């Protein structure tokens, strides 16, 4: 008996257990006694899961199972690849388990279980719009960690993945199945208090959820993976777990400088720069981040596309989870295109 644990792309392979030959067959003639190995596994499209092996295999009859049990997994084989049809299709973002067994020509077999979420064929186009990095317990300005997204294109949230990391800890969250329209605000609360009122708003009722920062006009979701780093961190957004980021934000305490010495941050930052979403020095440095003096009373606000230049620190108390940013009335119309508002420095 042998067992292997493989990490394949985005998919968690919980168990791979090769069990052959049976102990009764231990005196079999010399030959192929090695069970087939899984080289790759992925969802190719809605209702289609593909498992690649290192040799020609056949699916073991009756061994395939699927959860949720409302869908059936039916394997077919193309040489070294098993294609599993899942019907009826599961909802985008729904948690799935696929189990089965594959056998090579000599009777050696491998059993497997994959955990993944239902394929999202039409992900909503989201932009990270506002970040509240910490808890503020002042009576007049109570907030807890949240990320706000604006839907710039309609679609499904199902399986869209958010990652956030500090220098020492990486966290992630995948949205459940939920259709959104262009212009919708989505708030992911990252420091829930565990209240019964903290409910995911996947349906029509946008007032369903209670809890700190829940918004009557936005869609509230609650993530228990861990809070957003207060001072220094990185946030990335992916349409599917295995995809490149489509948006992200890298921020750091203003007194940080020099080469980035955190693997957790630099690996996510590399994915952002590779996707042309963030500009970095040849050797990434803390100065490549949006530098700020951390404050739980001020949100970080997105004003435009284009890396750190697109962000600013909001006024104290200007948090607007689930709604457009509170903008001050312009003091005076200006014809100068170069005019920019600057934050005055305190002595």
Give the residues lining the site for Ca ion (CB under 5 A).
130, 148, 206, 215, 220, 320
| Closest CB to Ca ion: residue number | 320
Q: Nearer to Ca ion by C-beta: 166 or 320?
A: 320
Q: Whole-angstrom Cα distance, residue 183 to residue 162?
A: 19
| Separation CA 129–CA 141 (nearest Å) | 20
**Spatial separation of the C-alpha atoms in residues 267 and 274, rounded to whole Å:** 11
Task: Give the whole-angstrom CA distance, residue 38 versus residue 286.
Answer: 40
CA distance 92 to 117: 7
Give 91 or 302: the residue with its C-beta nearer to Ca ion: 302
Nearer to Ca ion, 299 or 307 (CB): 299
Name the residue nearer to Ca ion (CB basis): 17 or 208: 208
Closest contact distance (angstroms) between CB of 325 and Ca ion is: 5
Q: d(Cα 249, Cα 236) in Å, to the nearest integer?
A: 7
Integer Cα distance of 29 and 26 in angstroms: 9
Nearer to Ca ion, 1 or 204 (CB): 204
Contact, 127 vs 149, CB < 8 A? yes
Nearer to Ca ion, 40 or 197 (CB): 197
CB 186 → Ca ion: shortest distance, Å?
A: 9
Residue 33 Cβ vs Ca ion, minimum distance, rounded to whole Å: 59
Q: Which helix (H) or strand (E) holds 268?
A: helix 263-274
**Beta pairing, strands 161-165 & 290-292:** unpaired
Residue 239 CB, nearest approach to Ca ion (Å): 22
Query: What's the min distance (Å) between Cβ of 214 and Ca ion?
Result: 5
Q: Nearest distance from residue 270's CB to Ca ion, in Å?
A: 29
Question: Which residue, chain included where needed, has tokens 């690996």?
Answer: 267
C-alpha dihedral sign at 124, 177, 8, 172: positive
3-state secondary structure of 145: coil
Return the number of the residue (148 or 268) whose C-beta is nearest Ca ion.
Answer: 148
Closest separation in Å from C-beta 195 to Ca ion: 14
């Amino acid at each position: 008996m042998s067992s292997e644990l493989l990490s394949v792309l985005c998919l968690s392979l919980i168990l791979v257990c090769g069990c052959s030959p049976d102990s009764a067959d231990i005196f079999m003639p010399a030959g192929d006694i090695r069970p087939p190995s899984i080289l790759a596994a992925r969802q190719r499209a809605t209702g289609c899961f593909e498992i690649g092996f290192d040799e020609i295999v056949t699916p073991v009859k009756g061994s395939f199972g699927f959860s949720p049990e409302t869908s059936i997994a039916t394997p077919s084989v193309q040489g070294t690849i098993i294609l599993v049809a899942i019907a009826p299709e599961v909802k985008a973002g729904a948690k799935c388990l696929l189990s089965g067994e594959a056998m090579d020509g000599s009777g050696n077999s491998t059993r497997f279980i994959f955990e993944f979420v239902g394929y999202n064929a039409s992900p909503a186009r989201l932009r990270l719009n506002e970040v509240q990095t910490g808890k503020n317990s002042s009576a007049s300005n109570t907030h807890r960690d949240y990320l706000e997204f604006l839907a710039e294109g309609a679609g499904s949230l199902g399986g869209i993945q958010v990652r956030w990391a500090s220098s020492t800890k990486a966290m992630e969250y995948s949205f459940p199945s939920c259709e959104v329209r262009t212009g919708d605000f989505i708030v992911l609360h990252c420091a829930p208090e565990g209240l019964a009122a903290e409910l995911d708003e996947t349906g029509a009722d946008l007032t369903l959820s209670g809890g700190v920062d829940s918004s009557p006009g936005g869609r509230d979701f609650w993530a228990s993976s861990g809070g957003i780093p207060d001072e220094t961190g990185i946030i990335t957004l992916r349409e599917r777990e295995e995809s490149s980021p489509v948006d992200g934000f890298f921020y750091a305490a203003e007194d940080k400088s020099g080469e980035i010495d955190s693997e957790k941050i630099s690996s996510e930052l590399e994915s952002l720069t590779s996707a042309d979403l963030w500009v970095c020095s040849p050797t990434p440095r803390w100065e490549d981040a949006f530098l700020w003096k951390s404050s739980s009373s001020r949100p970080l606000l997105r004003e435009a596309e284009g890396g750190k230049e697109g962000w600013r620190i909001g006024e104290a108390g200007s948090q607007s989870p689930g709604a457009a940013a509170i903008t001050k009335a312009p003091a005076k119309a200006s014809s100068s295109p170069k005019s920019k508002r600057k934050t005055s420095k305190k002595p």
